[in-house]
Structure 1
Amino acid sequence: MIMLNCIQDDALRKPEMIKKAELLQASTKELLKVFEQLEAPTLEEMSGEYAARLLAQPNWLATFVGGAVLRNHFHSWMCKAFKPIDASTGQGYNTFLQGKRVIQRFPMRTLIAPSRLDGGLSYQLVYRRFHSLCGSVNMVDEVRRISSGLYLGIGTYGFTDAQRLTPYPFLLEGPIGVYRGDIGRARKNFKIERHELPSQSIK
Structure 2
Amino acid sequence: MKDLTQMSTPQLLEVFRTLECPTMEEMDGEFLGQQLRQPGPISTLVSALFTNNPLLFGKWRSKSFRPTGPDSGRGYNTLRNFGRETIQGPMVTLIAPSRFDGKPAYQLVYRAFHSICGFVHMVDEVRRVDEGQYLGIGTVGFSSAQRRIPLPFKLNGPVASYKTDVGRERAGFDLASELPALAAAVAPGSAASTR
- Please give the TM-score of this superposition, normalised by the length of structure 1: 0.88
CA offset at residue 193 of structure 1?
2.5
2:117 corresponding residue in structure 1: 134
Q: Work out which of the residue numbers 145, 160, 180 in structure 2 matches 1:198.
A: 180
1:14 corresponding residue in structure 2: none
Q: Work out which of the residue numbers 28, 38, 42 in structure 2 matches 1:57.
A: 38
CA offset at residue 150 of structure 1?
0.2
**2:115 counterpart of 1:167:** no
**2:69 counterpart of 1:121:** no
1:80-99 matched pairs, under 5 angstroms? 80-99=63-82
Q: Distance in 1 between matches of 2:180 and 2:53?
A: 33
1:184 corresponding residue in structure 2: 167
Q: After superposition, what is the alpha-carbon deviation per residue over 1:129-176, rounded to whole angstroms, capped at 9, x for unaligned?
A: 000011011110000000000000000011111111000000000001
- Please give the TM-score of this superposition, normalised by the length of structure 2: 0.91
Structure 1: segments with no counterpart, 5+ residues: 1-17
- Alpha-carbon RMSD: 1.0
Q: Distance in 2 between matches of 1:73 and 1:83?
A: 27
Runs of 4 or more off by more than 6 Å in structure 1?
Answer: none
Amino acid at match of 2:6: Q
Q: Which has the higher strand share?
A: 2
Distance of aligned partners of 1:185 and 1:148 in 2 relative to their CA distance in 1, 3 Å threshold: same
Q: Distance in 2 between matches of 1:143 and 1:152?
A: 6
Q: Distance in 2 between matches of 1:65 and 1:154?
A: 15
Q: Work out which of the residue numbers 18, 21, 30 in structure 2 matches 1:37.
A: 18
CA offset at residue 102 of structure 1?
1.0
Q: Work out which of the residue numbers 61, 81, 101 in structure 1 matches 2:84.
A: 101
Q: After superposition, what is the alpha-carbon deviation per residue over 1:27-73, rounded to whole angstroms, capped at 9, x for unaligned?
A: 00100000000010001100000000100101011112211221123
